[in-house]
Amino acid sequence: MLHNMLSFALLAGVLTLIPGIDTAQILRSSMTGGKRAGFITMFGIIAGVYVWGIGAALGISALLLASHAAYTAIKIIGGIYLLYLGIKIIRDSRNITHQSIEEQTKTSAPFWKVFSRALIITITNPKNGVFYIAVLPQFLPDGYNPILGGFLLASTHNVMVILWQGFLVLATNFAGKFIRNPRAQKVIERIAGVTLVGFAARIAAEK
């Protein structure tokens, strides 16, 4: 199983490095809420990866692939949620000032609000389920406990997540002075919002 996990780590590493919804979440949270929000978001993504990894082993992802209606429902929910967040971020960016940034640095968003947002986005992204159901059988030895295997492979994936996204959080925090400039933060927020809206549109356009 160790050999399989190492092989899976290469694939998961490539998947983690490719810019996507997770990267957008990490950067946006780190820019607006600092290291704390960035790491909480990372933990939410990690939890979502475990849900999909173990879910694939239990056959949940297979059910989504077999049932077009279930897959479409998950896709619609995920798309609507991303669209809502994207539009909200763009609208809220109009109110960014030096004072609002100072207040934001003094008051931290509740743990569960940041965590659950990242978790929901990760869970409602059906691409995660498709990925796991497509690759899981290839990396599970014959006769190996599928639930344990799903957990171990998801853990391998999450090691890649911690290494890469942890770096992004620290790098973003290092550039804190620039990020806390109202003009820069407005641009960053709007890019993040447009990115989320773009992902929502792409999900809606997929058949």
204's CB contacts (< 8 A; 6+ apart) are 75, 76, 79
In this predicted structure, the answer to whether residue 20 has a pLDDT above a threshold of 90 is no
Q: What is the 3-state secondary structure (H, E, C) of the chain?
A: CHHHHHHHHHHHHHHHHCCCHHHHHHHHHHHHHHHHHHHHHHHHHHHHHHHHHHHHHHCHHHHHHHCHHHHHHHHHHHHHHHHHHHHHHHHHHHHCCHHHHHHHHHCCCCHHHHHHHHHHHHHCCHHHHHHHHHHHHHHCCCCCCHHHHHHHHHHHHHHHHHHHHHHHHHHHHHCHHHHCCHHHHHHHHHHHHHHHHHHHHHHHHCC
Cβ atoms 117, 28 nearer than 8 A:
no
The residue ranking higher by pLDDT, 41 or 92, is 41
> How far does Cα 193 stand from its chain's mean position?
15
Maximum mean pLDDT: which of 129-138, 147-156, 176-185: 147-156
The alpha carbon torsion through 116, 68, 140, 159 (nearest 10 deg) reads -20
Mean pLDDT over the full length of the chain: 76
The residue with greater pLDDT, 88 or 103, is 88
Q: Decide: helix, strand or coil at residue 143.
A: coil
Confidence band for 203, pLDDT divided at 50, 70 and 90: low
Quote the pTM value. 0.69
For residue 39, the model assigns a pLDDT of 94
Question: pLDDT band for position 91 (50/70/90)?
Answer: confident
Residue 106 has a pLDDT of 47
The letter for the amino acid at 162 is I
Q: What is the pLDDT of residue 13?
A: 75
Separation CA 132–CA 129 (nearest Å): 5
- Among 37-41, 62-66, 91-95, name the most confident range: 37-41
- The stretch 193-200 carries a mean pLDDT of 75
* Res 90 pLDDT > 70: yes
User: Is 38 in contact with 168 (CB distance < 8 Å)?
Assistant: yes
Asked if the model's pLDDT at residue 44 lies above 80, the reply is yes
Which amino acid makes up residue 161? V
Rg (Cα) of the chain, in Å, rounded?
Answer: 18
Tell me what the mean pLDDT of segment 132-138 comes to. 67
pLDDT at 180 over 80: no
Check residues 86 and 46 and name the one with the higher pLDDT: 46
